[in-house]
Copies of this chain bind each other. A is one copy, B any other.
Amino acid sequence: MSSTYGENLKLSIFGQSHSPAIGMVLDGIPAGLPVDTQRLQEFLNRRAPGQNDYSTPRREEDSPEFLGGILDGFTCGAPIAAVIRNRNTRSGDYANLRDCPRPGHADYTAQIKYGGFQDYAGGGHFSGRLTAPLCIAGGLCKQWLEERGIRIGARIASIAGETDDIDLDPLHPQLDLIGKDFPVFSPASGERMRAKIAQARTEGDSVGGIVECFITALPAGLGEPMFGGVESRIAQIVYGIPAVKSVDFGAGYACAYMRGSQCNDAFTVENGTVRTLTNHSGGILGGITTGTPVIFQAAFKPTPSISRPQQSVSLSQSQIQELSVRGRHDPCIVPRAVPVVEAAAAIAIFDLILGNTQTDRRK
């Protein structure tokens, strides 16, 4: 009941950081949807480590093998299953984690929950590596949404307090402006962020940041009331990404400081179509899309793995113990998290579209 998601599609993610493979099963997808594996690989590459100076030099090959569900470039109606083999075999790097949990990681809670039976190597099932199969599912959903004209793009809104200087028009976000390699709008802001990351790395520390995601050309009327609203569905899956500590929509937190006369998005008519003059709601009213772009932000805490010594405990001896996390880790996961946030959003939106019973009423 843990690593599955979806009301209409059913996504099941499996594997651990050092198990033979990680992978996913995506059930409930209609037959006949095209699958472009090369574009999928390009999408996965955006998440893969070892490609630039701000991420870990570890080398992972995130090339999925499809075991079922796809035939001659189209979905065939059967569940889509894909695996990625883990190249890094179990090593001694993590041997002591069983006794001395890393602060900020799930080592301690896994120990309590699974009573010592958990796979502790590399964080096991809690590893950020599990976002790779999430990106397989999300990359596919993203393609199918694009077929309907729906686009999803995310940018780094801030890292270590350095914000992307360029504001997007929340009514007409120009997603093409987002940089591919380091997805910000303002190259100067991007430079400042990279400098902060480099500095943290030098100091054996890490930094966090905020990812902002835009979904455009969504039909109005998507989503269900109460617990099936777009916010509920997106928040549920985005909080499944490791290190996310905040999810908000539209003006989000800032709404709490506005007056109603300011926060309400006034309606207008544009070429015979109802529009809003602003987009504080993030394209969602009553949990249902307005047709205006859906915008949300996810805040990521700094990478918990830092080489600087930290205070932990020895569980066996029940006493304080200093810990230095060895190995090579991203001083900032935010750049690699950008496609993961897009993937999560794509899955949530495609799930909502599959379940949209709106058109039935006129049959």
Contact = CB atoms under 8 A, between A and B. Distances in A.
Contact of A310 (B16, B109, B264): B264
Interface string A249-264: 1111101111111111
Given A12-B79, A25-B12, A240 B245 contact: no
A36 B2 CA distance: 24
Given A226-B130, A237-B232, A281 B104 contact: yes
Nearest to A160: B257
Query: Which residue, A75, A108, A250, A362, has most C-beta atoms of chain B within 10 A?
Result: A108
B19 A105 contact: no
Contact of A1 (B33, B118, B207, B224): B224
A277 to B, nearest CB: 7
A23 interface: yes
A3 interface: yes
Contact of A76 (B79, B114, B265): B114
A245 B246 CA distance: 11
A244 interface: yes
25 contacts: A2-B224, A3-B228, A14-B67, A21-B67, A22-B68, A23-B81, A29-B357, A31-B114, A71-B119, A77-B113, A101-B267, A104-B265, A104-B281, A104-B285, A108-B290, A109-B220, A208-B260, A209-B256, A232-B236, A245-B256, A246-B255, A258-B302, A260-B308, A261-B306, A277-B311
Contacts of A40: none
A114 B361 contact: yes
Contact of A269 (B30, B158, B284, B313): B313
A256 B208 contact: yes
Contacts of A1: 7-10, 27-28, 224, 228, 355
A140 B69 CA distance: 25
A2 B226 contact: yes
A268 interface: yes
